[in-house]
Amino acid sequence: MIDSIKTIPEIKKIADEVIGEVSKHLVGVENYTRSLITALLVGGHVLLEGVPGTAKTSLAKVFAESLGLSMRRIQATPDMMPGDITGTRIYNPKTLEFEFRPGPIFANVVLVDEINRAPPKTQAALLECMQETQVTVDGITSKLQQPFMVIATKNPIETEGTFPLSAVQLDRFMFRLVLDYQEKKDEVEMLKRKLGKRQKLQAVVKSSTLISAASLIRSDVKTNDEVLDYMVKVVRKTRGFPQAILGASPTATVALLNAAKGYAALVGGRDYVTIEDVKAVAFDILNHRIVLKQEAMYSPEERDITGMQQIKSMLSSSIESIKV
């Protein structure tokens, strides 16, 4: 277990240890795990999107357990109320006073399963939590535990009994990671592991170490003016896409900066950000912040009912067209 870190290069060990531990239990999720740990260390949240059976919930649970963090799971349903997430004040007849009963949001990692099944009023209960890491109930504000992270799952295919996520809600997520079916070799490996003895999951890092790593990334990873200028160009380009009615906001620019800093430390072990770091995280940062026109949403030839392939193509060509 990693007890402490003092320099940026040591942060890379955290990513390696966490990815290694998660990979013992899930196959083919190394890149997703790297994005999760990046988001956690820079104060971001992650939306895991994919069809049923792509291990979205399992990934979130194994990830939290490998870090030794407290985790609560919220199963979203159409009849869920905001108090089911934040908690509520309950009258105690013994003390003749109202007492606050904290909800499942009071944990280090909060998994909101099938977030689009919760009604808009309940989804809105997450906005303050994700933006300001605090909860306000009946005028009383309570701070959330640190580190804090929301991981939400979403099925892009089913629409019955679901409520679309608003642009404001989507903007609260740093990454949208799109999980697809495994490669054939990974699916075979998964079956082999099911036949073998299940390995016990171990925590590989202390929560205090994660807080120290986050502080180091925030203060010690530098970004020069040329890279900052490149980030702004990437985000501003999305606002001029002819197929889109809404591009990425300035919040996306800030998310791109934070994610690139985290990627530089976790993957490169560096205290400075490069153009390649920005390119590595740009798609996952921007793909859910672009709203396509209705006619661009569906491509019969590619069966692209979510518009994801269209967005990917647009972002890829846009990023490559920017001169460095």
pLDDT one-digit tens code per residue, 69-113 = 999 999 999 999 999 999 988 888 888 888 889 999 999 999 999
Measured distance CA(126)–CA(169) in Å, rounded: 8
Measured distance CA(213)–CA(6) in Å, rounded: 8
pLDDT of res. 108: 95
Bigger pLDDT: 36 vs 51: 36
Using a cut of 0.85, tell me whether the model's pTM lies above it. Answer: yes
| CA proximity to 174, closest of 287, 29, 320 | 287
pLDDT of res. 236: 94
The residue type of 108 is N
pLDDT, mean over the chain: 90
pLDDT of res. 278: 96
Measured distance CA(151)–CA(145) in Å, rounded: 15
> Domain-by-domain residue ranges, the chain?
1-220, 222-324
Residue 19 has pLDDT above 90, yes or no: yes
Residue 303 has pLDDT above 90, yes or no: no
The predicted model gives 49-73 an average pLDDT of 93
Residue 306 has pLDDT above 90, yes or no: no
The predicted model gives 133-146 an average pLDDT of 91
The pLDDT tens digits for 160-178 are: 888 989 989 999 999 999 9
The pLDDT tens digits for 197-230 are: 777 888 999 999 999 999 999 999 999 999 999 9
Superfamily the domain 222-324 falls into:
Magnesium chelatase subunit I, C-Terminal domain (1.10.8.80)
Cβ atoms of 315 and 287 within 8 Å: the answer is: yes
The pLDDT tens digits for 235-280 are: 999 998 888 888 899 999 999 999 999 999 999 999 999 999 999 9
At which residue do the structure tokens 């590989």 appear?
204
At 305, the pLDDT band (50, 70, 90 cuts) reads low
Residue 324, both tokens: 């460095």
Measured distance CA(314)–CA(243) in Å, rounded: 9
pLDDT of res. 201: 85
User: Architecture of domain 1-220 in CATH?
Assistant: 3-Layer(aba) Sandwich (3.40)
